[in-house]
């Protein structure tokens, strides 16, 4: 008997050695190419970059795979229970492999003559999703099992569940439970209800077959099957399961959010890729906090598209030549881009006309010339001649500029010339200060597009972008400080480390505070009766303190309006990409100004911005002048105007036309008129 036991022990040891050697050989052979423990510990899944609006709400995702990681304690217990009930009931009792489940599945499949039951644990599924090919083969199953064992040795059960919930595919491009919650229910994972959790877990078996979007009936049956399994697993009462099964799918897809503020998002995406590279942007899980105000963005799209549809309905061209437009809104002090529309339909054209289109601004460029003139000693009361002029061009031809209405006003003040947008007077102003003097001011005010120092620049013939010109206008209400327009405030990596952060764009002094204050006053005149921007007051009820300027190019190919209040600046451009005419009389005042006025009025009212006056530096000189002599008014001047001056340029003489006659006693009336 002892001899027999020794023999059994001997052969047991021999076969144990052979089995161990064979198993070791299998592990050694199939273990080649498996992820190391270090790889497992340092595993970093691809994560979507999230772009947030100014209120911290997700605006858009940038990813090769739509995936947003969440912590296990942010995932509802109902979701975890459903996963365990359906995918791995012995999860907490195995070390990565469930041998009883393997044997059970093998017998069931052999009996059925086909594969009807799986045996992969959650850990095996995670191993497959994270590291291995999806190609079905014997070697892959071995590698999957070995990797699962390594994962179990490296991570806790809770960490495995968290990785699993963030890695599995739910269909329609959604990877992970957070992306799935947003895709199917337009909510965050932690807000999922029981029935929603059951629906998502039901998708894991076959996301396309059980898609609630494509196959709602199948999805409903699959969801109810998950609820039954949860009840059978003991994490849900049968009564509760039956109650929830009676509920509809309750889908609320986020499809309507896809493409929200697309031109702005694309502008941000290009910035990120240029600075951080596409790999980090699409796989690194950045958090990007932007300046976009959703309310203003919605208003900008509404009012611009309303006007474009109106113009298209009356267009002499086919719909294949759509009328395009752009609008950009900025915070005048910070440079924050609050709204951006780059065209009528991003799906048809991704070309961003707010930042990429170089167009002639026409008279909307004149304020830059007038600012250079004021900064070089010109005054609002100085006289310009609004009469015909002929200028020789470098090619030997003669240039005869004209006013918009082809009339001439003769001698007018600089204020009247800008208010009424008189081309001939502006050309004469530019002739006096010289184009070469203006160029540095243009650059200081942030316009970097190519410029030609020619006299026709008085009429805005140099091309530039809408964003450039709108940001330049912000210099006026911002006391002469140009602020770089910015869209991104903060960028964080996936760990929450701040990669960049700034509250303002780059700043520099482009104009003296006094010159800026004079320009604000001049541009406020444009909004008064007789000014080209008066329609904003008269027809659209925009009564807040504001300044602005219309712009129209030859043949009505471009229509502009750029303007500002103390808080906001906005620019509007309308035209055809092909630079065709918008039609007779389709000037900036008729086409762009209505969009600007509606947007600015509604924006200020909706945001609850207080009615505010423009701040004026204490160094600025303000005087009451006689309207007739443009000298310091006396109590006897019948009409008085209020003017503003850069210190040192104000008139020193008092009106001599309206004064008491020698030897006579006269008393000024309450209206300032003399009575004898």
Where exactly are the structural domains of the chain? 65-257, 301-607, 620-676
Q: Looking at residue 147, what is its pLDDT?
A: 78
**CB–CB of 338/330 below 8 Å?**
yes
Tell me: the pLDDT tens digits for 565-585? 999 999 999 999 999 999 999
What residues contact residue 575 under an 8 Å CB cut-off, 6+ apart?
323, 324, 325, 359, 557, 558, 559, 582
Q: What is the secondary structure of 213-269 as a DSSP string?
A: TT-HHHHHHHHHHHHHHHHHHTSS-HHHHHHHHTS-------GGGTTSSHHHHHHHH
**Cα-based distances in Å from 176 to 171, 173, 204:** 10, 10, 11
Tell me: the pLDDT tens digits for 325-357? 999 999 999 999 999 999 999 988 999 999 999
Q: Looking at residue 15, what is its pLDDT?
A: 41
| DSSP, res 612 | -
**Cα-based distances in Å from 192 to 72, 79, 235, 285:** 14, 8, 17, 23
What residues contact residue 107 under an 8 Å CB cut-off, 6+ apart?
none
Catalytic residue among 61, 87, 416, 643: 87
The CATH number of 65-257, from 1.10.3810.10, 1.10.357.10, 3.40.1190.20, 2.60.40.60, is: 1.10.3810.10
What residues contact residue 377 under an 8 Å CB cut-off, 6+ apart?
649
Low-confidence ranges of the chain (pLDDT < 50): 4-5, 8-31, 115-117, 132, 134, 136-138, 255-258, 663-676
Q: E strand or H helix at 30, and its extent?
A: helix 2-30
**Quick check: do 65-257 and 301-607 share a fold?**
no
* Tokens read off for 223: 């969801």
The structure tokens 């006003």 sit at: 409
d(CA 187, CA 189): 7
Is this model's pTM higher than 0.85 or not? no
For 192, what's the count of Cα atoms within 13 Å in the CB-facing half-sphere?
Answer: 29
d(CA 645, CA 374): 9
Catalytic residue among 300, 363, 512, 521: 363
Whether 61 is catalytic = no
* Tokens read off for 35: 């992820």
In a 10 Å sphere around its CB, with 0-12 CB exposed, 13-18 middle and 19+ buried, how is residue 382 labelled?
middle
Q: Looking at residue 663, what is its pLDDT?
A: 45
Q: E strand or H helix at 365, and its extent?
A: none
Q: Looking at residue 139, what is its pLDDT?
A: 57
What residues contact residue 40 under an 8 Å CB cut-off, 6+ apart?
150, 151, 154, 155
| DSSP, res 206 | -
CATH top class, domain 301-607:
alpha beta
Whether 87 is catalytic = yes
Q: Looking at residue 93, what is its pLDDT?
A: 86
Average pLDDT, the chain: 87
């Amino acid at each position: 008997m002892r001899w027999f036991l020794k023999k059994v022990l001997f052969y047991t040891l021999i076969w144990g050695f052979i089995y161990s050697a064979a198993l070791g050989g299998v592990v050694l052979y199939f273990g080649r190419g498996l992820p190391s423990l270090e790889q497992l510990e340092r595993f970093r899944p691809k994560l979507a970059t999230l772009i947030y609006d100014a209120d911290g709400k997700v605006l858009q995702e940038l990813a090769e795979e739509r995936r947003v990681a969440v912590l296990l304690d942010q995932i509802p217990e109902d979701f975890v229970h459903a996963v365990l009930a359906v995918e791995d009931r012995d999860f907490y009792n195995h070390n990565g492999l469930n041998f009883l489940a393997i044997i059970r599945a093998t017998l069931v499949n052999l009996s059925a003559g086909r594969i009807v039951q799986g045996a992969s644990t959650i850990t095996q599924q995670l191993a497959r999703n994270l590291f291995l090919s999806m190609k079905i083969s014997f070697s892959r199953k071995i590698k999957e099992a070995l990797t699962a064992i390594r994962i179990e040795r490296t991570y806790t059960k809770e960490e495995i569940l968290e990785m699993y919930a963030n890695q599995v595919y739910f269909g329609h491009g959604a990877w992970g439970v957070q992306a799935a919650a947003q895709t199917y229910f337009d909510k965050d994972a932690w807000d999922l209800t029981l029935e929603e959790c059951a629906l998502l877990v039901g998708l894991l078996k076959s996301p396309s077959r059980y898609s609630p979007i494509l196959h709602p009936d199948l999805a409903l049956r699959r969801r109810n099957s998950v609820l039954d399994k949860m009840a059978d697993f003991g994490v849900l009462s049968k009564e509760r399961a039956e109650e929830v099964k009676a509920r509809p799918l309750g889908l609320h897809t986020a499809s309507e959010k896809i493409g929200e503020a697309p031109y702005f998002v694309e502008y941000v995406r290009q910035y990120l890729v240029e600075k951080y590279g596409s790999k980090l942007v699409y796989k690194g899980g950045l958090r990007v906090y932007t300046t976009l105000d959703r309310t203003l963005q919605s208003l900008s799209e509404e009012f611009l598209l309303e006007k474009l549809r109106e113009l298209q309905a009356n267009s002499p061209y086919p719909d294949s030549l759509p009328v395009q437009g752009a609008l950009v809104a900025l915070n005048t002090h910070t440079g924050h881009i609050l709204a951006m529309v780059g065209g009528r339909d991003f799906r048809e054209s991704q070309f961003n006309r707010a930042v990429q289109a170089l167009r002639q601004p026409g008279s909307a460029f004149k304020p830059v010339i007038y600012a250079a003139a004021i900064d070089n000693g010109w005054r609002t009361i100085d006289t310009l001649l609004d009469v015909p002029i002929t200028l020789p061009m470098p090619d030997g031809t003669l240039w005869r500029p004209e006013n918009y209405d082809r009339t001439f006003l003769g001698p007018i003040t600089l204020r009247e010339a800008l208010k009424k947008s008189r081309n001939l007077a502006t050309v004469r102003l530019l002739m006096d200060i010289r184009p070469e003097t203006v160029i540095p001011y243009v650059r200081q005010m942030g316009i970097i597009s190519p410029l030609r120092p020619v006299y026709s620049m008085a009429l805005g013939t140099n091309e530039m972008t809408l964003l450039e010109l709108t940001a330049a206008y912000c210099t006026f209400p911002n006391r002469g400080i140009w602020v770089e327009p910015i869209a991104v405030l903060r960028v964080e990596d996936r760990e929450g480390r701040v990669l960049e952060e700034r509250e303002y764009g780059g700043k520099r002094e482009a104009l003296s505070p006094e010159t800026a204050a004079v320009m604000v006053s001049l541009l406020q005149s444009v909004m008064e009766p007789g000014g080209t921007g008066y329609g904003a007051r008269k027809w659209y009820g925009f009564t807040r303190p504001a300044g602005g300027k219309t712009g129209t190019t030859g043949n009505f190919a471009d229509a502009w309006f750029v303007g500002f209040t103390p808080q906001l600046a906005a620019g509007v451009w309308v035209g055809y990409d092909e630079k065709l005419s918008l039609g007779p009389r389709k000037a900036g005042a008729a086409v762009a100004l209505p969009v600007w006025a509606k947007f600015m009025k509604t924006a200020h009212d909706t945001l609850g911005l207080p009615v505010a006056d423009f701040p004026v530096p204490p160094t600025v000189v303000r005087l009451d002048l006689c309207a007739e002599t443009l000298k310091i008014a006396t109590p006897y001047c019948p009409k008085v105007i209020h003017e503003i001056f850069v210190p040192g340029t104000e008139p020193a003489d008092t009106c001599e036309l309206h004064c008491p006659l020698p030897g006579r006693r006269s008393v000024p009336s309450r209206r300032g008129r003399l009575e004898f």
